[in-house]
Chains A and B, each alone.
Chain A
Amino acid sequence: MTSDPAPAHTPAAPRDGAREGTRGHDSARRLGPTRVLDIDPLLDDPKTRIVVCCGSGGVGKTTTAAALGLRAAERGRKVVVLTIDPARRLAQSMGIDSLDNTPRRVKDVDGDGELHAMMLDMKRTFDEVVEAHADRERAAAILSNPFYQSLSAGFAGTQEYMAMEKLGQLRARDEWDLIVVDTPPSRSALDFLDAPKRLGSFLDGRLIRLLTAPAKLGGRAGMKFLNVGMSMMTGTLGKLLGGQLLKDVQTFVAAMDTTFGGFRTRADATYKLLQAPGTAFLVVAAPERDALREAAYFVERLAAEDMPLAGLVLNRVHGSGAGELSAERALAAAENLDDAGIVDQETGKAAFRNSPETQGSSESPADSDTATEAPAPDVGSPAADRASADGAVGQLTAGLLRLHADRMHLLAREQRTRDRFTALHPEVAVVEVAALPGDVHDLAGLRDIGDRMANGGPTGTA
């Protein structure tokens, strides 16, 4: 199953096309076998408790997460999907008009399993954390603090921090067999790992401690110089930010500290959850240079952090059922037809369109011998009409061949990009998901994507 450089079930098409395309590419293919990522065993394994979908923006991460969740549920598991920023259509595809911060059961899921879906509301999650850890009065004080308000609404890293927080909460409730997490949309996939820690250490950081407790410092010997620096600094920052902000920060940190414990500790705890057995990372990408470069960074990072990578989901991969016909041959053939086409093509098309016979014959294409003579209608039409219809067919055929050449070029390009990744990371199991012509609108669409993922090949070309 892993002996072939391309997933075993991929039609021969892309391979052959590529071979006819570029030689260097062909040699790149021999670098080593790519492992095929088998989705179903991963989803079925009762030991798999968390699946994290990560990757750069615009690669179909959220859709992948939803499709995985649905598939796992329909294979009998009790699943919750935590999405971060789903498109309206995707939420609707799960039958939920507006996802919110509470898991909602998705209807019409086949089988014995359950699918729940929710969307992270970072402000709400943050508020809940505060409310859970402080008495009412203190919570009210924190919640109304202006610095807290801007922090919870849109601080760099808050979304990632709260995604982790929510994941920790869901896991702690232990109500689900499997949690599928989508990660916040960001340029860099690494943000998901780095932002919570960054925010945690910032809030727990030396500076913020100093700012909040300058009085203590003054008492200590040897700290005088620093203290002078501090007051200069708080002075400067105060001037710069308008003074009030600094006070807000101080009040906030003091209030949070006594009730909440360290931010950093908390971030570390969820971080550990990601390293725990039972967590699997799926890196999602599209066969494009930037997306795969991000994917490669992420793969390296996961390895460095001892985080378990299940594999790479490569979305939007194209295939062709006519892979044996190279782009070059297709284009040459199209030119042959162009050269032959001497009749007025517009008239030809019109002649074709207006014929009731051809309309009717479209459903019974294989049975007619007459069609080999001429596709054009014969009824009372002069030979010229037939010839012009031939011209239209010729033009259409040329168009189809150019379309095919375009597809083969795309295939070759996707294959090259993929090979570059595979060459660097031959150890990473890959599953290719065939491109869909349109967006997903319903559970059937998500199910289709799940099938494509499980079957690993561009099924659209079959």
Chain B
Amino acid sequence: MSRLQVVSGKGGTGKTTVAAALALALATEGKRALLVEVEGRQGIAQLFETEALPYEERKIAVAPGGGEVYALAIDPELALLDYLQMFYKLGGAGRALKKLGAIDFATTVAPGLRDVLLTGKACEAVRRKDKTGRFAYDYVVMDAPPTGRIARFLNVNDEVAGLAKIGPIHNQAQAVMRVLKSKETAVHLVTLLEEMPVQETADGIAELRAAKLPVGRVMVNMVRPALLDEADLELVRSIPRTALAKSLSTAGLGGARRGGGADRLVDPLLEQAGEYAERYALEREQRSVLTGLGLPLHELPLLAEGMDLAGLYELATELRQQGIS
């Protein structure tokens, strides 16, 4: 099991949710997981229903069996200051640099620099050990940028190479790449059973593979319950509407004669069944595309009540049952 788990996905597929559920799942049975946010939008805080996260690792949830989930929202500017402090012992000069806008400058001027700082921080957490020589975190889960940008984001070496050919940033990028391309890392992609996200997932996997980054699993999120099966759908096509009206009437929904309560339900119910059938066919098609990718596939249910903290634990349990940890 890789210790750095990177979670990406098309916008709107719920990758932050899946990342958080994954952290909870991995932390079960006394493990420690760090959930890292890199896009500065406080999605983790919202999900865990706490106040905005500072740039500091703090415990955010307890997993079943005594595990712990820590969270960290990485701020690239502060990460750079940290970094300068570490290498140059800047002290107060660091603050002066910040005041002058130099930090903002440096993180903005070199697109790759920002990414190195973000991935670098995550890699540092992966490698960190406590006094006893035990890893500080058993797992680090990163809520990463979306599928369209993930390969570029992780492939910091190429990004930075053109800009910083030497110097500490260059070395940092090299070190980060060693972790990212190793077995220590797995990049998961979150998708929905819809055409566009599935297509993006396939493209993203191709890009990751081209960059020699380790692709992990495909997580299908928000899978709707299968309320009608193949046989039902076949029956829907052939059933006389009077039979359905009668059955609805038996169920206590009014008269089956024409114009009766049950009879009036038949058309709308059949129409909804028709929509369901259409979606069912589409989903089956997308599922087969995903299966063809040759990666472990996980499905997470759509939560009827919308996403909340309880739902997050539910998804974590689901992931554990599917053998993710």
Contact = CB atoms under 8 A, between A and B. Distances in A.
B196 interface: yes
B239 A358 contact: yes
A372 B239 CA distance: 12
Contact of A394 (B106, B247, B265): B247
A236 B111 contact: no
A236 B306 contact: no
A214 interface: no
A3 interface: no
Contacts of A375: 239-240, 242-243, 246
Contacts of B238: 352-353, 358-359, 361-362
Given A400-B273, A406-B227, A439-B194, A244 B241 contact: no
Interface string A320-353: 1110010001001110110010000010010011
A187 B168 contact: no
B10 interface: yes
Contact of A392 (B227, B235, B271): B235
Interface stretch (B125-133, B250-258, B314-322): B250-258
A348 to B, nearest CB: 9
| Interface core residue of A229, A352, A399 (most chain B CB under 10 Å) | A399
Looking at chain A's contact residues, is the secondary structure mostly helix, strand, loop, or mixed? helix
B134 interface: no
A371 B113 contact: no
Contacts of B268: 320-322, 404, 461
Interface in B244-300: 244-248, 250-253, 256, 258, 264-265, 267-273, 275-276, 278-279, 282
B82 to A, nearest CB: 13
Interface stretch (B60-68, B94-102, B204-212): B94-102
B232 interface: yes
A154 B166 contact: no
A241 interface: yes
B228 interface: yes
B228 A206 contact: no
Contact of A397 (B163, B247, B267): B247
A223 interface: no
A402 interface: yes
A449 interface: no
Contacts of A141: none
B106 to A, nearest CB: 6
Contacts of B148: 85, 185
Contacts of B29: none
B91 interface: no
A269 interface: no
Interface in B211-234: 224-225, 227-228, 231-232, 234
Interface in B82-120: 84, 88, 90, 93, 96-97, 100-102, 104-106, 108-114
Interface string B131-157: 000000000000000101000100000
| Contact count band on A | 35 or more
Contacts of B275: 437, 460
Contacts of B253: 325, 329, 333
A378 B4 CA distance: 64
A393 B196 contact: no
Contacts of A239: 88, 167-168
B97 A337 contact: no
B278 A371 contact: no
Contact of A58 (B12, B110, B170, B304): B12
B235 A461 contact: no
Interface string A244-279: 110001000000000000000000000000000000
B41 interface: yes
A207 B105 contact: yes
Contacts of B264: 322
Contacts of B306: 289, 413
Contacts of A57: 10-12, 146
A217 interface: no
Contacts of B239: 352, 358, 362, 375, 393, 396
B164 interface: yes
B13 interface: yes
A242 B169 contact: yes
A319 B169 CA distance: 55
Contact of B235 (A87, A322, A396): A396
A208 interface: yes
Contact of B111 (A156, A207, A329, A413): A156
Contacts of B323: none
B235 A59 contact: no
Nearest to B235: A396
A406 B322 CA distance: 25
8 contacts: A89-B196, A156-B108, A202-B104, A205-B105, A233-B100, A321-B271, A334-B251, A403-B269
Interface of B: 10-13, 39, 41, 84, 88, 90, 93, 96-97, 100-102, 104-106, 108-114, 146, 148, 152, 162-170, 194-196, 199, 224-225, 227-228, 231-232, 234-248, 250-253, 256, 258, 264-265, 267-273, 275-276, 278-279, 282, 304-307
Given A188-B41, A239-B168, A240-B164, 17 more contacts: A150-B111, A187-B41, A208-B105, A241-B169, A243-B166, A245-B109, A329-B253, A336-B251, A353-B234, A353-B238, A372-B246, A390-B247, A401-B248, A406-B227, A437-B275, A438-B195, A439-B196
